[in-house]
Each structure stands twice: as structure tokens, then as C-alpha cells.
């Protein structure tokens, strides 16, 4: 029988009811102190029919923040707030991982303790802006991390994992994509270091692997996923040899027997990308491969049937369709996305998208 979006899947010690994954989606709706609250719990509970929810990127330290009102997992209050979210998802039969995040240079001094410069592998400013309480402002120039500072960030990922498990998450995802701190170490546009964290593929992968090893020591490998984005230029990032670099990353992750590898294929902007062999990444990793970026039901179904992916993550369709699984099952039309309410605000455009039955009854 061919694999479909609705085929169950064993993910470590948990069974997923389907292979439709809710991708991590920044919505900038955390409460004071970057603490998740009741509205966030409702939002995720509405989408619990996903085979797996990967909760939005969540900073592992205060220094890891780069956008307004994004949640953290480094304080007791944040951990308690997330516990209400996981309880709501589990009560509705769902499974949920937390994406662990440090933005690195994609930040502004207003987010940093004592208004310090953001940290990065190298002191190279990113082109772009971020949204603060004063509106859109240019990203701040980062400072390069000292070699002896790096282990403390690795330790912060480990502590964030402990907090996530205490909060009731089924596992965690290490965010190594989209131009944030770990990706900044991986790619040569942003990593000009001359110590053991720069230069060769082995050195540039060292920080990622240290984080993965610290996180798996806490959670166990079967409860840890990793997200990469080999061709994504988001946040002013690139690499001169992406295929060779990410082949190396996949080879290094393979023996660690992780829950899955989550791969953003191509560029999130939709811009044409150079040819890239994602099948090689899947083969070299050897474990469950989660595909992401621009998938609809037909394309996702083909990827699963042909063995090119084991799970498929959907982003914006899940924002606008809390019952996306049901809509896919019934080939029902999808709600349109309200772009104006993607970030910030309260329930409009967040928890008020209509369900299929309420749409039909209208």
C-alpha cells in the first residue's frame, strides 16, 4: 500500500496519526516577559489534528531574541506558559515539539540585555530590518563570539531542552536554518572565523553538532529533530558550496539517529534556486526526512508516494486552516490567508479562522 499523507508514522516512541506536520511559524503573540498565554494554547489546540505540531521558534536565552513578542523557554514563567499549551494540544489528541532558537546577528540592541550588541560567529552586519516597539529598524551590527563563550550557549540549549520537557513537549527541534545563529556558523558568508569553529566544513559544523549532542543528552536522540535550509537566502545568508557543506552535515547527523531531519528545500522567497540534490541529503542522513517549502496536497502526496519524503511540513496553510488535515482528507477548499494579521495583535487572524463545518453552515 502506498504511503499517503494520512498514513501513521512511528516517530521514536510516539505514533503520529498522519504525516501532515504544522511547521514552526513565528506569530509574535507572546505575552509580557515573552511568556506563552491562553490565546497561544487555543491556537495550537485548534491545530492538534496535525500528525505533529512544531511550535514556533523559541529563544533559548534572552540574547537569542530578534523580534518583538516571540516566546522564550529560558525562564520558569515561560516554561509554565508552554505547559498550558502542551496540555491543550495533548487534550485534543495532538503531538507537539518545540523549536529551539537563537537568532544570532538577526537582532537589535533593544532586544539585548543591557542594550549590548547581538552575537554572531563573525562581526558581519546583516542587511535587513527587524520589528521592534519603535517599528522597523535596521539590524544591529553583531560582535564575534569569543571561543570560550560558545560552550555557554551550547549549555543554554541543553537547559532549554530540560525546560521544554518539563513543559510537556514530546520533543524538540534544533533550529539550524534560515540564517539564524547555527546557520551563521555553518555558512561561509557569515562565518569568517579562524579558530576551531571556522574554515573547513568540519569546523563550521562543530557548533551545530555540539548543540545536537547536548540536546540529545538531555532528551534522547529519538525526541530531537534538526532543521536546515541549504539554499535559503533569508536573512542575508549563503554559502559558496552548499551541496558539499550540507552533504557533510547530513553525514555527521546520520550516526546520531535523530527523530528526523527537517529540510527547507529551495529559497523561501520563491526565487529560482540552483540545482540541488535533496535526495542525496535524505540518503546520507538515513533517517526520517521532513520536506518543507511550497508544498500543497498534490505535491506532498507525490513526495511521500515516491519515497522522497517521510513527512511534509505546511506553514501558511495551517495558519489559515486550523482543520487543514480534514480539508486535505475531504479535498475541501482552503481559507485564504490574511497577510495583514500574520505578526502581532491578538485573536483576529490567529484563532478566528473558520472551521470547515462552520464554513459550510454559513
Tell me the domain boundaries of the chain.
9-361
pLDDT tens string 186-235: 999 999 999 999 999 999 999 999 999 999 999 999 999 999 999 999 99
Cell digits of residue 254: 546520520
Percent of the chain with pLDDT over 90: 94
Residue 358 is predicted with a pLDDT of 57
Q: Which CATH number fits domain 9-361: 3.50.50.60, 3.20.20.70, 3.40.30.10, 2.60.40.790?
A: 3.20.20.70
Kindly report the number of other CB atoms within 10 A of residue 138's CB atom.
12
* Per-chain mean pLDDT for the chain: 96
Residue 361 is predicted with a pLDDT of 46
3-state secondary structure of 98: strand
pLDDT tens string 76-119: 999 999 999 999 999 999 999 999 999 999 999 999 999 999 99
Backbone dihedral region of 135: left (phi > 0), alpha (psi from -120 to 50 degrees) or beta?
A: left
Q: Which residues make Cβ contacts (< 8 Å) with residue 29, sequence separation at least 6? A: 39, 40, 43, 69, 344, 345, 346, 350
Of 43, 44, 67, 180, catalytic? 180
pLDDT average, residue stretch 31-55: 98
Please provide the DSSP assignment of 270-338 as one string: --------HHHHHHHH-S-EEEESS--HHHHHHHHHTTS-SEEEESHHHHH-TTHHHHHHHTPPPPPP-
Kindly report the number of other CB atoms within 10 A of residue 306's CB atom.
10
Cell digits of residue 306: 515516491
- Give the ranges where the chain is alpha helix by DSSP (H): 38-46, 76-91, 150-166, 181-186, 201-204, 206-219, 242-253, 278-285, 297-305, 316-320, 324-330, 356-361
With contact defined as beta carbons under 8 Å apart, do 208 and 173 qualify? no
Angle between helix axes 242-253 and 278-285 (nearest 10 degrees) is 20
pLDDT band at 362 (very low <50, low <70, confident <90, very high): very low
pLDDT of 68 higher than 90: yes
Give the whole-angstrom CA distance, residue 284 versus residue 280.
6
pLDDT band at 340 (very low <50, low <70, confident <90, very high): very high
Give the whole-angstrom CA distance, residue 228 versus residue 237.
13
How many helices, marked H, and strands, marked E, lie in the chain?
12, 14
Percent of the chain with pLDDT over 70: 99
Residue 211's nearest CA partner among 155, 160, 164, 166 is 155
pTM, entire model: 0.97
Residue 133 is predicted with a pLDDT of 87
Backbone dihedral region of 224: left (phi > 0), alpha (psi from -120 to 50 degrees) or beta?
A: beta
pLDDT tens string 147-165: 999 999 999 999 999 999 9
With contact defined as beta carbons under 8 Å apart, do 300 and 266 qualify? no
With contact defined as beta carbons under 8 Å apart, do 333 and 321 qualify? no
Residue 253 is predicted with a pLDDT of 98
pLDDT of 359 higher than 60: no
Angle between helix axes 76-91 and 150-166 (nearest 10 degrees) is 40
With contact defined as beta carbons under 8 Å apart, do 25 and 301 qualify? no
Residue 102's nearest CA partner among 138, 137, 154, 54 is 154
Based on the residue annotation, tell me whether 180 is a catalytic residue of this protein.
yes
Amino acid at each position: 500500500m502506498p504511503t499517503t499523507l494520512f498514513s501513521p508514522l512511528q516517530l521514536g516512541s510516539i505514533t503520529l496519526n498522519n504525516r501532515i506536520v504544522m511547521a514552526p511559524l513565528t506569530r509574535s503573540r507572546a505575552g509580557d516577559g515573552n511568556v506563552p498565554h491562553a490565546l497561544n494554547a487555543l491556537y495550537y489546540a485548534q491545530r492538534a489534528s496535525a500528525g505533529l505540531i512544531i511550535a514556533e521558534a523559541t529563544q533559548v536565552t534572552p540574547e537569542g531574541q530578534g523580534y518583538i513578542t516571540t516566546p522564550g523557554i529560558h525562564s520558569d514563567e515561560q516554561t509554565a506558559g508552554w505547559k498550558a499549551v502542551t496540555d491543550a494540544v495533548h487534550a485534543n489528541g495532538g503531538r507537539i515539539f518545540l523549536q529551539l532558537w537563537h537568532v544570532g546577528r538577526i537582532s537589535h540592541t533593544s532586544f539585548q540585555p543591557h542594550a549590548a550588541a547581538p552575537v554572531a560567529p563573525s562581526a558581519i552586519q546583516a542587511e535587513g530590518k527587524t520589528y521592534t516597539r519603535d517599528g522597523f529598524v535596521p539590524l544591529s551590527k553583531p560582535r564575534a563570539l569569543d571561543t570560550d563563550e560558545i560552550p555557554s550557549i551550547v549549555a543554554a540549549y541543553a537547559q532549554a531542552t530540560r525546560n521544554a520537557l518539563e513543559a510537556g513537549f514530546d520533543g524538540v527541534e534544533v533550529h539550524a536554518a534560515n540564517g539564524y545563529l547555527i546557520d551563521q556558523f555553518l555558512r561561509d558568508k557569515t562565518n569568517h572565523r579562524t579558530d576551531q569553529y571556522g574554515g573547513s566544513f568540519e569546523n563550521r559544523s562543530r557548533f551545530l553538532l555540539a548543540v545536537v549532542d547536548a540536546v540529545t543528552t538531555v532528551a534522547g536522540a529519538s525526541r530531537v529533530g534538526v532543521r536546515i535550509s541549504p539554499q535559503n537566502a533569508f536573512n542575508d545568508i549563503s554559502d559558496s558550496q552548499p551541496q558539499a557543506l550540507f552533504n557533510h552535515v547530513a553525514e555527521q547527523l546520520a550516526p546520531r539517529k535523530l527523530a528526523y531531519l527537517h529540510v527547507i528545500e529551495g529559497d523561501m522567497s520563491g526565487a529560482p534556486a540552483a540545482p540541488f540534490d535533496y535526495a542525496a541529503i535524505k540518503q546520507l542522513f538515513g533517517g526520517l526526512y521532513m520536506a518543507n517549502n511550497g508544498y500543497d496536497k498534490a505535491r506532498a502526496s507525490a513526495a511521500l508516494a515516491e519515497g522522497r519524503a517521510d513527512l511534509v511540513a505546511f506553514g501558511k496553510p495551517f495558519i489559515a486552516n486550523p482543520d487543514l488535515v480534514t480539508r486535505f482528507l475531504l479535498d475541501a477548499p482552503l481559507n485564504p490567508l490574511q497577510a495583514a494579521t500574520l505578526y502581532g495583535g491578538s485573536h483576529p487572524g490567529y484563532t478566528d479562522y473558520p472551521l470547515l463545518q462552520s464554513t459550510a453552515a454559513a
